[in-house]
Structure 1
């Protein structure tokens, strides 16, 4: 078990926030379970589970303390995420069929601007390859994945950006947005009925018996745990001046400003006409036609063709290997390569500029050298200790003591938490799931190694456990009594409020019906701050009619409110600030674009051959 976990761990420990669609499907093994097929393209169980985890993480960030792991751990959530993966596959396929393309220049720019591939704010080739390797990619496989993802985004932007918003639509919505309504209202206060409500012990006892789930202290558990942290290990790494000097010498290329070359290219598709087109371009170059003109005429890389084939600055280990080798083989600015074949077609490349690398002295980068050296040493120790932690806690499943003593770790204890989670390590869904698993809760064994983050691991075991317990009646009786009093007072306010509402509708004077609480009519906008938001909401729901419109509702505080809308003034379009108009147009365009995209996806789905293997989806639980 431990060896299997470590094999997975080494591949997946350090990940990067690609924020891309379906990237992980490229690292699924050939025997991965298939949960769906979209026009023959497979969606794997690994891709689904990883997408579900990304969704959970997003919801945890959005909901904060309100996040409940159990809400996002069911078959319904997996189907929602699977639908999204299917949509993504349909979009990528449609983009390809429509002939949309992502240029090499766009790929290079995206990679160079990705923070995960940078050191000190600058793209670093070694960092790039290290991060990809730990995520299970080679530069070639990642760039192919990235190209697919950017292609899908390009199609979405094309569809959503094609929508138009008419001036009539803008003006109509501006008038509604700036509309004002003349609102008057009266209040029947809950507090006026509190003295008239009586609650006896039998009522309280009946409510308690009927709602025992509301008066039960939840099941709770606390954990003992070992935590392995890369940051903690880093602080313990000791280094000498000699070690740093040697590391600088051995890795000098990292501390040299990388050579950059600027290049342009003409990309020709690989088909039966390629040889003829390449010969035609060569002839025109010999006749003196400029490279830029030929790129604009012949290149199928639309992203760079418009700028004469310019790809911008290029560093080593970023572009496709054959292409990159050709760029750095050119000796002089202006030189043009022979045709270079890659998976994208044939490239004719022109070198347009060279920015030579520059040496950096050890003293100038000593701090950076020390940081990298410590990090490298810490990572090696981290990987070794991670495997040892997994082995020791598995081989000694009834104690953490042996692993703690061997690895020099302290056994920590969490606070109590419920199945909904808690603070500290209990914020992590996998920790909560492990804590209440049969192995940990009932068998009292150590958990497997759990990943809190890319650089923090824990193993947990039960410290203490308390079953769900019904609270003593006497401890909750006072609160129930007050709750019943307020509810009954609110009910009485509702009855009287409804009666007064009917009086107003029958023509009675408002000041007679509400002698103490009637607020005279005043014009309010949708965003007015000097009136209750609930009153505004109800008032703007009423139909626009020639006569006064009445409505009543129970407010959140238990009072009953009767409102009267006597006039409606449409908003003035002329007085609208340009910024507000522009914002409305932008929001409408975005909304219409999403509607268009939804319709487009519905069409793609109706024409697609989609097969979902439901038993595999519902069993897609992480072991």
Structure 2
């Protein structure tokens, strides 16, 4: 049937860019090796194969992007729950279909264009900012490509781009469609509204009695549940626990004081900025202009194309400034020096502040030094016991025995996510608690403050009801919130009834806000989410109640206005709407074209090869995972 536009597939409009990027910034581990044996592709579309390394790189890149977006490492198994592997494979299938069609049509680009793309790529630039042959070859070698392979991929990508543009360009959006959307977007509303809060209720909220709280708790136990937890026993040794064992002598403190001499004995310093000139004559002329009032030091900096942060040296001592130090420190108050020679050339140096020398005697620093010395010694004492504790555990000692026979302290906690008291405040303890299983044997682990610990999972505790005494504060808060919500609803219903019976919203004793010419995309501070959507659904004269968190809003629609014909942005909005429609139709056309190519060329997938790639991400321990992509004509 020729090249028909059939069922729509799933191809990203950014395929070509993604194809190039995955070749450059793909994973280091996968890029430099293949999957061995005879398996070199995960599938084929027509005569074009989808390389296993290409699939691995694209999959790894997607995982890295997801991890960056979420701020946590995303495993393949997690990504597969969202169908990421299928999206990646479908993207490569679509690309292969376009490449196959390119080959059939003989589309390509010339050597000059390939050369231009290589020479202008920032990935291959050296320190000078121009193309660096060594950087080019090194980058390609890291990802397992030869220059010939990479340049062929450029030809393939550019040819695919030509084909995509040919299919999706020349499409125009219906003019009336854009006008209708513009009218919808530009519609305006005039309305009046008031809010009711705890402070404006018709009557104050009554305080809950003990029986009321108890009854509320018993009727809503599902709202006061303790989370599922792990009952853990732990042995913990913190440097604080052995602080009393540390002996601090005078010689050690004085040695530490000498080591900290640069902290306790600071020389006189200056806050300075240095403006360098090409010649001494230029520096002298600039100083003359500053002293004559023709310009300022700041203006002289700007005239050189610099900012104050570019010339700021911070606080410096005289020795930091080499030969210029004597001139700078001769100033008795802030100001600009005579031109001086520096390592960078003639310069004007501005002194912004004079910082006096500061000396802290040993006796004044003793307490701080003693705390620092003791804390450091305690951390070393704890670290020295790690091997002994490991040996005890390896020999069969229990955590209870460690608590009884060593400096470690024994404890127990029902741990769940979100705890942050005692040892559970440490991120490393939380990680260990999260991963520990019943089968695990205790081992010595370290915390970031020098503490060590070992833990054991005794049992898994399911979610369960809290006790009334423990949940009392939460019960009071919930009861108050529920009582407030009920009173707000009752007061709002009474006010709404008055308005619907003919009363003006402004006559009901509440502060009323009048809004005019409000569009759908406006933001009205003090109103609940979705409030404007509710307003735009009203007819003139109708009113509504909108509930927020701890308050309600009552509003009456006064007038419906068409879009503003004088809006200077109207044409830009219309153009943006039409562009979006055109791009959407173009993408649909490209999707249909890609699906037709895939159906016509035929698709074959090697599930064993796909599973082999997946195993590289899971250490080979996972069961084979089906790709869930049909073969031979994707719909």
Normalising by structure 2, report the TM-score.
0.49
Larger radius of gyration: 2
